[in-house]
Amino acid sequence: MEILIKNGKIINAGGSFKGDVLVRNGKIAAIGKGLDGKTASKTIDAGGLYVLPGAIDAHTHLEMAMGKTFSADGYESGTRAAACGGTTTVFDYTLQEKGKPMLEEIADRNRLAEPAACVDYAFHGGISEVNEARLNEVAEMAKQGFPSIKAYMTYAFGLDDKALFELLQRAAKEKVLITVHAESHGIVEANREEFKKEGLTDVWYHYLSRPEIAEEEADIRAVTLARAAGAPIYIVHLGNEAGAKYIAKARAEGIPVYAETCPHYLAFTNEVFKRPDGIRFICSPPMKGKESQIALWEGVSRGVIDTIATDHCPAQTFEKDWGKKDFTLAPCGVMGIENMYPYMLNAANKGMISFERAVALCSYNVAKIFGCDTKGAIEPGLDADIVLYDPKKEFTITVDKMHSNIDYTIYEGMKLKGYPVLTMSRGAVVYEDGEFKGEAGYGRLLRRKVSCAYDKY
């Protein structure tokens, strides 16, 4: 089956031009000017619209166990919302129960995802212990198409320095990319203990318990351990100025360190924790001061930030409210899976970054860094994961227009200039004009290749 998308402005990370895209059997068959659509069963007039590769969200936690609850979007509602925000691939993070192989955790998660996912999905491994069994599994992870593993430097399941160093060494040998949640366990835990003892438990203390320096310290240590191990490293959800500066310097020295930030660190500062609904914004790392927000935007426009991802891990209002009097009781995480691409494209539309850069951050770079060789660009041979974007459409984010399961959005009332009007996943229309058009179970598990982080090794 063929579809011809005519007269749109085709925007890739490397440049843009006005032309046509021919889709055949779920793949991009051709791009160019004046393509002949004689054999196409459908023609879409994209005049006045931009034709973009679907976004790839490299960081979600769907249906993830969080204390006495689960993150409130499962694989169906999460990927449904993704499709409606122009995201056509979602990377979910698995956790690892001690003693259980990472690949078994992935298989368990896939049993949930396979019948439910509305767009394509991938899994990062998760690791909470480093021993011979886990280290020996690293090679198999790569072999089976899961060449990325997340390590936490805090939380009960975090790794200490020795464990992280050993993991990085093995990852370098097997060409697996380690992604790191970088917050200093020592600083965070000592602060939390002290605040609890003194009854300082309102939402603002969530931020004070995990301040800028808690992230900076861990960023520096993570990069240093990676250097010592001869491994590349990917810092997830970077939220602080000093860490961004340190990473920029390390990269200038040729150290292969990659950085991801999230829309919530770009859109908000720690002021949100003073709002009456501040509890809704609890996530780790927390949003920091204005200086960090500015530094992250600089990184987004000037290069130290490689990718934007959402860390989508929402909880319902009643669950967040468990922490109203004691922030430590609130489930940690915010939403964003439907908002990432529209938010970054709005920034492009307002001239803060170029559209090419928005596509690089949200799609192309993610595909390269995480070894997806069928995604990330409007290019012949790749999957027809395509977004039509109307740069003139005015859109105000309100919860009733969102497509996930959550009863609020932290982006409520945000006005965007431009919005996706159609999303295609492997050639199938999964979203059009505000409505979800896809189906549960359509999404396929992606098995991936080696990260571009290993290109020069």
Using CB distances below 5 to 8 A depending on partner kind, what does residue 244 bind out of Zn ion, ligand URP, none? none
332 binds, options ligand URP, Zn ion, none, Cβ within 5 to 8 A by partner type: ligand URP
- Alpha carbons 182 and 245: distance in angstroms, whole number: 15
142 binds, among Zn ion, ligand URP, none (CB under 5 to 8 A by kind): none
Examine residue 312 and tell whether it contacts Zn ion (CB under 5 A): no
Q: Indicate which of Zn ion, ligand URP, none lies near residue 283 (CB less than 5 to 8 Å, by partner kind).
A: ligand URP
Q: Which is nearer to Zn ion, 120 or 311 (CB)?
A: 311
Residue among 183, 311, 319, 338 that touches Zn ion (CB under 5 A): 311
The DSSP secondary structure of 47-114, one letter per residue, reads TT-EEEEPEEEEEE-TT-EETTEE-S--HHHHHHHHHHTTEEEEEEEP---TTS-HHHHHHHHHHHHT
State how far the Cα of 227 lies from the Cα of 238, in Å rounded to an integer.
19
With CB under 5 A, what is the number of residues at the site for Zn ion?
A: 2
Query: Where are the alpha helices (H) located in 175-310, listed in sequence order?
Result: 185-197, 204-209, 212-229, 241-252, 263-267, 290-302
Q: How far is the CB of 61 from ligand URP (least distance, A)?
A: 5
Euclidean distance between CA atoms 304 and 247, whole angstroms: 7
Nearest to 448 by CA among 2, 91, 38, 86: 91
Does 283 interact with ligand URP (rule: CB under 6 A)?
Answer: yes
The residue (of 93 and 389) whose beta carbon lies closer to Zn ion is 93
Secondary structure (3-state) at 354: coil
109 binds ligand URP (CB under 6 A): no
Residue 218 CB, nearest approach to ligand URP (Å)? 12
For Zn ion, which stretch binds (CB under 5 A), given 136-144, 188-196, 197-205, 308-316?
A: 308-316
Category of 311 on φ-ψ map: left (φ > 0), alpha (ψ -120 to 50) or beta: left
In sequence order, the β-bridge partners of residue 234 are: 179, 258
How many angstroms separate the Cα of 181 from the Cα of each of 44, 206, 218, 260, 281? 42, 17, 9, 11, 18
Which two three-digit tokens encode residue 306? Answer: 């490689």
| CA-only gyration radius of the chain, Å | 21
Answer yes or no whether residue 320 interacts with ligand URP by CB under 6 A.
no
- 73 contacts which partner out of Zn ion, ligand URP, none, CB within 5 to 8 A by kind? none
- Cβ(95)–Cβ(70) under 8 Å? no
Least distance to Zn ion, CB of residue 185, Å: 13
Partner from Zn ion, ligand URP, none binding residue 215, C-beta < 5-8 Å depending on class: none
State the DSSP H helix or E strand holding residue 141, giving kind and residue range, or none if neither. helix 132-143
Q: Which of 118, 332, 345, 347 binds ligand URP (CB under 6 A)?
A: 332
d(CA 340, CA 330): 24
Give backbone dihedrals phi and psi of 149, rounded to 5 degrees, phi first. -135, 135
Question: Taking CB under 5 A as the rule, which mask of x and - marks residues 172-191 in contact with Zn ion?
Answer: ---------x----------
Q: Which of 151, 313, 345, 424 binds ligand URP (CB under 6 A)?
A: 313
208 φ, ψ to 5°? -65, -25
76 touches Zn ion (CB under 5 A): no
Q: Is 210 in the site for Zn ion (CB under 5 A)?
A: no
**Distance of alpha carbon 3 from its chain centroid, rounded?**
29
**Residue closest to 308 by CA, chosen among 27, 85, 153:** 85
For the bound state, the minimum distance from the C-beta of residue 251 to ligand URP, rounded and expressed in Å, comes to 23
Cβ atoms of 433 and 421 closer than 8 Å? yes
- 181 lies in the site for ligand URP, by CB under 6 A: yes
333 binding ligand URP? (CB under 6 A)? yes
Residue 409 near residue 28, CB atoms below 8 Å: no
- As measured in angstroms, the least distance from the Cβ of 236 to Zn ion is 5
* 3-state DSSP assignment of residue 29: strand
In the complex, minimum distance from the CB of residue 236 to ligand URP, in angstroms, rounded to a whole number: 7
What token pair was written down for 85?
């925000």
Output 339 or 423, the one with its CB closest to ligand URP.
339
Q: How crowded is the C-beta side of 310, counted as CA atoms within 13 Å?
A: 33
Query: Is 134 an interacting residue with respect to ligand URP (CB under 6 A)?
Result: no
Tell me the number of residues near ligand URP by CB under 6 A. Answer: 8
Does 284 help bind ligand URP (rule: CB under 6 A)? yes
Residue ranges in 49-88 that form contacts with ligand URP under rule CB under 6 A? 61
Assigned token pair, 343: 């938010």
* Residue 311 lies near ligand URP (rule: CB under 6 A): yes
333 binds, among ligand URP, Zn ion, none (CB under 5 to 8 A by kind): ligand URP
Q: How far is the CB of 335 from Zn ion (least distance, A)?
A: 12
Residues of this chain that bind Zn ion (CB under 5 A)? 181, 311
Residues of this chain that bind ligand URP (CB under 6 A)? 61, 181, 283-284, 311, 313, 332-333
